[in-house]
Amino acid sequence: MSLTSCIISPYYKNKQGYAYKRIKNKMYRHHRVVYAQHNNIDLDSMQGLVVMHLCDNPSCINADHLRLGSHQDNMKDRDAKDRQAKGINSGRSKLTEADVIAIRGSHLPGKQLAEDYNVYPSTIGQIKRGNTWKHLL
C-alpha cells in the first residue's frame, strides 16, 4: 500500500515523538484529535481504543495514515512490521545472541547454565523451549 506524505504536527512532542494538543485544559495526543475530527467522533468515546499510524510516524497527523483499533490490533501491527525490539536491542538483555546460541546447543542442566550466565533458570528454560529469542530459531 502506498501512502501519501506524512503531515507532521507543529505541537509539542514527547521523547517518543507523539505530539500533544491542548483542548479545554486537557492534553490529547494530536493524532487522536485529528482522527476524531476527521471521522466526526467524540474524543472521549474513543477511550480504550488506540489510533494507529499506518506510516509508523508518531508525529504524523495525516488522517489518511490513521486507523482506530484495539491495543491488540496495535501489537499485531507492530509484530507484522517487525518493529519490536528483540534480543540485545531490547534494553534489558543480559545475554548476547552468541550466548543464546550456546545455551540452546548446551547439554548442561538449566540450573548450571543459569549460574554460568547469571540469569534465572526460568530464563534458560524459555530460551531452550524457544519462547524467547525467537528471531534466532
Read off the pLDDT of residues 66-93 as tens digits, 9 standing for 90 and up: 999 999 999 898 878 877 655 665 657 7
Percent of the chain past pLDDT 70, that is, above it, reads: 91
Torsion on CA atoms 84, 88, 91, 95, rounded to nearest 10: 130
Domain limits at 56? Answer: 20-80
Torsion of CA 111, 117, 118, 123, to 10 degrees: -60
Read off the amino acid at residue 94: K
Position 54 in a domain: yes
Residues 75, 91 share a domain: no
Q: Are residues 73 and 91 in the same domain?
A: no
Instruction: Report the domain count for the chain.
Output: 2
Q: Are residues 93 and 128 in the same domain?
A: yes
